[in-house]
Structure 1
Amino acid sequence: MKQFYLITFFCVVFSLSGFSQTTEKYMAAKQDTDLAENLTLYPNPASHGKVYISSKNNKVKKIEIFNVLGKLILSTTQLGNELNISKLKAGAYIVKISEESLTVTRKLIVR
C-alpha cells in the first residue's frame, strides 16, 4: 500500500511540473496565433504596386520581403497599412512581418 501512495505522489508531482511548462509554451503559441489570425495582407496576388498590411493592434511593423531563394529583397519599418512594392518583379515572395515580439510569415504573389 505504501508503494501505491509513493508512486501516486511522484506521478502527481511530475505531471504538475510538466503542466506549468506546457502552459507557458501554450501561451506563447497562442500569442503567435493571435497575431497570425488578426493580420491581413491584401490584395494577394498584387498587381498594382501596393499591398496593405493591417493588424488588430496596428503597432509599428518591421517588414522583410525575401525571394524564394531566401535573399532579402526589401526591408522596412512602417506604422501605416500601405506598403509600396512597385520595385518588385513579378514572382513569388515570402513576407516576414514582426510586430512587437511576435513574427508571422506570409506568401505574396506579385503579377
Structure 2
Amino acid sequence: MKNYLFVFMVFSMLSIPALGFSQLTDAPKMTSENPSNTIEGLSVFPNPVSNGKLYISTKYNLPKTIEIYDVLGKQVIATLILGESLNISRLSPGIYILKIKENELSATRKLVVR
C-alpha cells in the first residue's frame, strides 16, 4: 500500500506540468499579448540568502520548475515547487544562476548564497 501511494504521488507531481495550466487558469503563455517571455510578477527573495530558504512568487503562483547552476554551469538543483519556498540549505556559499519556468514562460536570475 505504501508503494502504491508513493507511485501515485510521484506520478501526480510529474503529470502536473502536462496538464497545461494555461487551460486551467487565465495565466499567459508566450503569445502576442506576452511577447517578452517573462514571468509576470516574479519576485525572488531574500537575495542574498543566508538562512537556507528561498522564496519565489509570481502573479499566478502556478507550479514552477526550478534549476540552479553553479558558476561553472553545473546543475546543482533541479526540482518542481508547488508553493513559494525552496530549501537551498545544502548549497555552499557562492554565486549561482537560478532558472525559473512557470507554464511556458521562463526567467533567469543571479542568486547569492552566504
TM-score relative to the length of structure 1: 0.71
Rg larger in 1 or in 2? Answer: 1
2:94 match: 91
Q: 1:29 aligns with which of 6, 24, 35?
A: 35
Q: Deviations over 1:23-55 (max 9, x none)?
A: x9864533x24x1x5101000000000010000
Gaps of 5+ in 2: 1-29
| Residue 76 to residue 25, structure 1, CA distance change in 2 (3 Å) | closer
Matches within 5 A, 1:11-50: 27-30=33-36, 32-33=37-38, 35=39, 37-50=40-53
Which residue does the alignment assign to 2:74? 71
What is the alpha-carbon root mean square deviation over aligned residues?
1.7
CA distance in 2: counterparts of 1:26 and 1:66, whole angstroms: 31
Tell me, in whole angstroms, the C-alpha distance in 2 between the residues paired with 1:98 and 1:80.
14
Return the alpha-carbon distance in structure 2 between the equivalents of residues 91 and 50 of structure 1.
15
Distance 1:71 1:87 in 2: 15
Give every structure 1 segment of 4 or more consecutive aligned residues whose post-TM-superposition deviation is greater than 6 Å: none
| Code of the aligned partner of 1:29 | P
Q: For 1:107 and 1:89, locate their aligned partners in 2 and report how far apart those are by CA, in whole Å.
A: 15
Q: Which amino acid aligns with 1:64?
A: E
The separation in 1 between residues aligned to 2:90 and 2:33, in whole angstroms, is 39
Aligned residues with identical type, % of pairs: 51
Aligned length: 85
The structure carrying a bigger helix percent of its residues is 1
TM-score relative to the length of structure 2:
0.69
